[in-house]
Chains A and B, each alone.
Chain A
Amino acid sequence: MALLQIAEPGQSAAPHEKKIGIGIDLGTTNSLVAIVQSGEAKTIADQTNAHLMPSVVQYQPDQVIVGQHAKLAADNDPKNTIVSVKRFMGRSLQDVTQHWQHLPYEFTQDEKNPAFITAQGVKNPIQVSADILIALKIRAEQSVADDITGVVITVPAYYDDAQRQSTKDAAKLAGLNVLRLLNEPTAAAIAYGLDQNTAQNNLGTNDGVIAVYDLGGGTFDVSILKLNKGVFEVKATAGDTALGGDDFDLAIVNYVGEKVALNDQQMTRFHRQLMSEAKRVKELLSTEESTLFTSDIEGHLHSVEITKTLLDTLISTTIKRTIETCSQALDDAKLGIENIDKVVMVGGSTRVPLVRNMVSQFFQAEPLTSIDPDRVVAIGAGIQADILVGNKPGNDMLLLDVLPLSLGIETMGGLVEKIIPRNTTIPVARAQEFTTFKDGQTAMMVHVLQGERELVDHCRSLAKFDLTDMPPMAAGAAHIRVTFQVDADGLLSVTAMEKSSKVQAHIEVKPSYGLEESEILEMLTASMQNANTDMQARMLREKQVEAQRVLESLYTAIEADGDELLSAEERDVIEFSLNELKKASEGDNESLITQQIEKVDALSQAFASRRMDKAINLALSGQSVDNL
């Protein structure tokens, strides 16, 4: 990648060099990558003109196959071919096998962090996902013939911390710079440009409330978004991770099974065949009034007529369940049906006419369906990535996201005390105080959980924190303030401090699911060795890029505000350190660059803070003038 040209102080930056941001929809069944080219967001196809890439990875002894070819291999080489790995992300083995029995894989002994034993050795879900991401990254790089600056990856709005963290770790392993994890429904709303009228002309009337209804093959969720003067806000989100279009197929299979009197054994043995015929029938009935379900079971040819009316009867119960969830999301958003202005349809299963009818009937609004429901999420992610790398400086759109599931801690008797309730706007920080119950106690354990239920056993264990090195005091005298910070990606970090002594307690994080930071680093190193890439060269290059970013942003800042916000002396000091950093970044001493970045960082802290305050004051005062 070409390093950015740095402008000397006093000069403006070189003609705007276009940075490449890509959007990735890392799906359970299929994945896509999208990019903005000539002002339009498009998904990128492979050589065979296929946009969807099956989320399937086959591990052969000497090579890794991803996508369509891997999918074709699934039947012949099930053990080494990982299908629907998304279900494993941030989950224990038991979580997965509860819903999906008879998985053809061989697993390692580790129940909490399942890993597949393949022809290429042990592969965990993060590594498998990374391989999918790498394939998408290569597809994008070939399409733009350039390096990728950053990526926006979409995740289900309902994803908990462990699942989000695992997704981010996979991206790190794939060598991608994650600009943001974006909720899938939000991405869909962006794809429809629901922000744009307001952002681009002041007469816009696009302000309003949007429902995003996402029914995939095996998952369902609905989100209520509010758009107000260019600010997109997720008001609520609800869903069901074990409900989807596959249930429609299953309903057809069960009907046919009963009709032609198949026994349990036959139903199990021919399950896959029956399901795929049901899928065909379902898809055909989106346009036809009636069709035949045909199957060949142990030499008996069966043919059952399925009409559209019959299909509607079979699947209406499942759709009703999704409508109930919609109603719950509205309640959570403290809104009524009359508030909903638009409904966005996402996921292949929304092609079923009855789904569209029932959803539009419930929300009393015509659903938006003009963008391919399979691609709409990736397209939205591509648009957001383009904005986040800075290609649209004038864009006013902003997304305010919420925490999808409450965060809490374990208290006496196995109960969970909520610290941050769900649907709180992120980023957010909340503090909680703990005290010791023994004299001289210097350590304490905090168990962090996520979920809505009251019992520890019913919530998701995220991590256990050991607070150590606390100053010994009498029982109840120590007050440890633990701060839970959730960032804009919805990821949790925890800090702790003893209040009276101001001693920073040490925290050791043991994630309950997913991997520890050190394990990720190990995997990264290992993958580098395998790929014969020079780890050090990559680290150096990343540091150099970071140095350029620091230089660029500070030179611009000094040019804009240096005269006003810096004394001559301060300015000299900062500029001297910038020159040092510039010199260091031209060399190949990585640790020297790190040192210089830290130095610049410390010296310019106050300046950065003054600039921020200035910007805030300016905006707020401009606002009060408007109000007068």
Chain B
Amino acid sequence: MNYFSLFNLPVQFDLNLEVLEQKYQVLQKITHPDRYASASEQEQRLYLQKNTQINDAYHVLGSAVSRGEHILDVRKVPRASEQETIGDTEFLMQQMELREQLASAHDVVQLEILNKTIQATTADYNERITLLLNENTDDSNAKAAVELNKLKFVVKLSIETREREKHIEKSQG
């Protein structure tokens, strides 16, 4: 199942999320089970299935990592193994540094600085992955798969930073 075509969108990593949401709402209005509450069981079943699929597609296309992985799936490119990510020493060093910053951050200001770095890093990865996936050769797709795995680490770090921030805000407030 190609989720991009379900939404009538081009297969593209740097997706306009506003357009995605607009399309999602159009699809919801047509397929939501509430529209068929008094319909025959056949229609109820059919639209429940389709609506479920649309929700899943929106979820997958809505975040960068799963969207990128879905593009690889559509192109039948295998996902990169963990080994390839861990093999990249430069990446590992950067991650360790950021993690140290997170571990030693004790106030909101320090976390804000870290947040900025993470955001910039994420933007870098997004840009790189966009270029690789737009190129769409065997080689560029395979490279994109590795970059996506790295992006996953960055996203995880970003979530943990946010959680820490909330935690600190709570203990102060």
Interface residues in chain A, defined as those with a beta carbon under 8 Å from any beta carbon in chain B: 19, 149-150, 179-180, 228-231, 331, 387-390, 396, 398-400, 424-429, 485, 487-488, 546, 549-550, 553-554, 601, 604-605, 608-609, 612, 615-617, 619-621, 623-624, 627
Task: Assess the B23–A549 pair: CB atoms within 8 A.
Answer: no
Closest to A180 in B: B37
Q: How far is the CA of A550 from the CA of B21 in the complex (A)?
A: 34
List residues of chain B with CB within 8 A of the CB of A609: 46
Q: How far is the CA of A150 from the CA of B44 in the complex (A)?
A: 15
Q: Which one, B31, B38, B43, contacts A390 given CB within 8 A? A: B38
User: Quick one: given A427-B55, A612-B46, A620-B26, are A388 and B31 in contact (CB under 8 Å)?
Assistant: no
Closest to B166 in A: A331
- B47 contacts the other chain (CB 8 A): yes
User: Quick one: given A427-B52, A604-B42, are A623 and B28 in contact (CB under 8 Å)?
Assistant: no
List residues of chain B with CB within 8 A of the CB of A149: 38
Which positions 1-41 of chain B face chain A at CB distance < 8 Å?
7-8, 19, 21-23, 25-35, 37-41
Closest to B24 in A: A231
Task: Assess the B33–A231 pair: CB atoms within 8 A.
Answer: no
- 12 residue pairs of the A-B complex, CB under 8 angstroms, read A231-B28, A390-B38, A400-B32, A485-B52, A488-B32, A546-B41, A601-B42, A608-B42, A609-B46, A612-B46, A620-B8, A620-B26
List residues of chain B with CB within 8 A of the CB of A549: 38-40
Q: How far is the CA of A351 from the CA of B166 in the complex (A)?
A: 32
Q: How far is the CA of A426 from the CA of B32 in the complex (A)?
A: 10
Task: Assess the A616–B31 pair: CB atoms within 8 A.
Answer: yes
Rank and list the top 5 A-B pairs by shortest CB-CB distance, nearest first. A388-B37, A488-B33, A620-B8, A179-B37, A427-B52
Task: Assess the B42–A488 pair: CB atoms within 8 A.
Answer: no
Task: Assess the B23–A389 pair: CB atoms within 8 A.
Answer: no
B113 CB to nearest A CB, Å: 21
A435 CB to nearest B CB, Å: 19
Task: Assess the A619–B29 pair: CB atoms within 8 A.
Answer: yes
Task: Assess the B39–A612 pair: CB atoms within 8 A.
Answer: no
Q: How far is the CA of A398 from the CA of B26 in the complex (A)?
A: 11
- B106 contacts the other chain (CB 8 A): no
- B98 contacts the other chain (CB 8 A): no
List residues of chain B with CB within 8 A of the CB of A179: 37-38
- B155 contacts the other chain (CB 8 A): no
List residues of chain B with CB within 8 A of the CB of A627: 19, 22
List residues of chain A with CB within 8 A of the CB of B46: 608-609, 612
Q: How far is the CA of A604 from the CA of B50 in the complex (A)?
A: 17
- B130 contacts the other chain (CB 8 A): no
B8 CB to nearest A CB, Å: 4
User: Quick one: given A231-B29, A616-B27, are A488 and B34 in contact (CB under 8 Å)?
Assistant: yes
Q: How far is the CA of A549 from the CA of B166 in the complex (A)?
A: 53
